[in-house]
Structure 1
Amino acid sequence: MTDSALPKSEPKASPQALRGLAPFLRPHRNRILLAGLFLVLAALTTLLLPLSLRTLIDNGFVPADPDQRIMALRHHFLALFGVGAALGVFSASRYYAVSWLGERITTDLKRAVYAHVLRQSPEFFEHTQTGEVLSRLNSDTTLIETVVGSSLSIGLRNVVMGTGALVMLVITNPYVMAQVLGVLVIVVLPAMASGRRVRRLSRSSQDRLADASAIASEVLNAIPVVQSHTAENREAARFGASAETAFGTAVTRIRARATMVAFIITATTGGLLYGLYQGTQAVLAGQITAGHMSQTIVYVILLISSVAALSEVYGDVLRAAGATERLMELLSTQP
Structure 2
Amino acid sequence: MLSMARPHLPGVALCLVLILVAMAIQLSLPLGVQAIFDRVLSSGDKRQVHIVAGGLLLFFVVRSLLSFWGQFLLQRIGDTIVVDLRKQLFRHYHDLGLLYHHKQNVGDLLSRLGSDVAALRNAVSNLLVAFLTNFFQLAGATVIMMLMNWKLGLMVLAVSPLVSVLTRVCAPVFRRLSATIQDRLASSTTIAQESLAGIEITKTFGREAYESGRYGDSMTRFLESAIRARRIDAAFNATIAFLTSFSTIAIFWYGGIEVADGGLSAGTLVAFLLYSQNVTQGIAGIAQHYSSFSAAAGATRRVFEILDTPVEVRDAEDAIPFEGPGAAIRFDDVGFQYRSGVRVLQDISFDVGAGQTVALVGASGAGKSTLVKLISRLFDPTEGSIRLNGRDLRDYSLQSVRNAVAVVSQDVFLFGSSIMENIRYGRLDASDAEVEAAARAANAHEFIERLSDGYMTQVGERGVQLSGGQRQRISIARALLRNAPILILDEATSAIDGRSEALIQDAIDRMRSSRTTFMIAHRHETLRNADRILVLSGGRIIGSPDYQQLIGEDDGGGRRWLKEA
Structure-1-length-normalised TM-score:
0.89
How far is the alpha carbon of 1:39 from its aligned partner?
1.5
* Conserved? CA contact 2:119–2:299, under 8 Å: yes
Correspondence for 1:194: 170
Q: Is the 8 A contact 2:167 2:291 kept in 1?
A: no
- For 1:23, the equivalent position in structure 2 comes to 3
For the residue of structure 2 that corresponds to 1:60, the secondary structure is helix
Determine whether 1:51 maps to 2:27. Answer: no
- Alignment check: 8 A CA contact 2:178 2:297 kept: no
Once the two structures are TM-superposed, the CA of residue 226 in structure 1 deviates from its matched residue by 2.2
Asked whether the 8 Å contact 2:120–2:299 carries over to 1, the reply is: yes
The answer on whether the counterparts of 1:39 and 1:94 sit within 8 Å (CA) in structure 2 is: yes
Q: Larger strand proportion, structure 1 or 2?
A: 2
- Please list, as runs of the form range in 1=range in 2, the aligned pairs for 1:1-335 lying within 5 A after superposition: 21-63=1-43, 69-335=45-311
Unaligned runs of 5+ in 1: 1-20
- Higher-Rg structure is 2
Deviation for aligned residue 1:181: 2.3
Q: State the Cα distance separating 1:73 from its structure 2 match.
A: 0.9
Greater relative contact order: 1 or 2 (C-alpha under 8 angstroms, separation 6 or more)? Answer: 1
Secondary structure of the corresponding residue to residue 80 of structure 2 = helix
Number of residue pairs the alignment of both structures matches: 311
Equivalent residue for 2:394? none
**How big is the shift at 1:102?**
2.0
Name the amino acid aligned to 2:61. Answer: A
Deviation at 1:235, TM superposition (A): 1.7
Q: Cα 1:292–1:156, aligned 2, differ >3 Å: closer, same or farther?
A: same
SS of 1:147 mapped into structure 2:
helix
The answer to which of 78-87 and 291-300 deviates more is 78-87
How many percent identity over aligned positions? 25
Deviations 1:204-251 (A, max 9, x none): 111110010011111211222222222222222111111100010101
Structure 1 counterpart of 2:358 = none
Say if 2:25 and 2:63, in contact at 8 Å, map to a contact too.
yes
- Matches of 2:18 and 2:123 in 1, distance apart? 18
Task: Calculate the aligned-residue CA RMSD, in Å.
Answer: 1.4
Length-normalised TM-score, structure 2: 0.54
Query: What is the CA-CA distance between 1:62 and the residue it aligns to?
Result: 3.5
1:51-85: CA deviation from partner (whole Å, max 9, x where unpaired) = 11111111112435xxxx12111111112112211
Supply the distance in 2 between the matched residues of 1:217 and 1:246 (Cα, whole angstroms). Answer: 17
**Conservation of the 8 A alpha-carbon contact between 1:49 and 1:83:** no
Residues 188 and 307 in structure 1, CA contact (< 8 A), matched pair in contact too: no
Which 5+ residue runs of structure 2 have no aligned equivalent?
312-565
Deviation, structure 1 residue 23: 3.1
The 3-state SS of whatever aligns with 1:61 is helix
Give the C-alpha shift of residue 91 in structure 1.
1.2
Structure 1 residue matching 2:43: 3-state secondary structure: coil
State the alpha-carbon separation in 2 of the partners of residues 81 and 331 from structure 1.
50
Match for residue 486 of structure 2? none
Q: Which has the higher helix share?
A: 1
Task: Give CA-to-partner distance per residue, 1:71-112, whole Å, 9 cap, x none.
Answer: 111111112112211221121112211210121111111100
Aligned AA (1:161): Q
One-letter identity of the residue aligned with 1:236:
S
SS of the aligned residue for 1:40 comes to: helix
Give me the whole-angstrom Cα distance separating, in 2, the residues matched to 1:26 and 1:191.
29
Q: Distance in 2 between matches of 1:149 and 1:48?
A: 27
1:127-174 Cα deviation digits (max 9, x unpaired): 211111111111111111111111112112211221111111111111
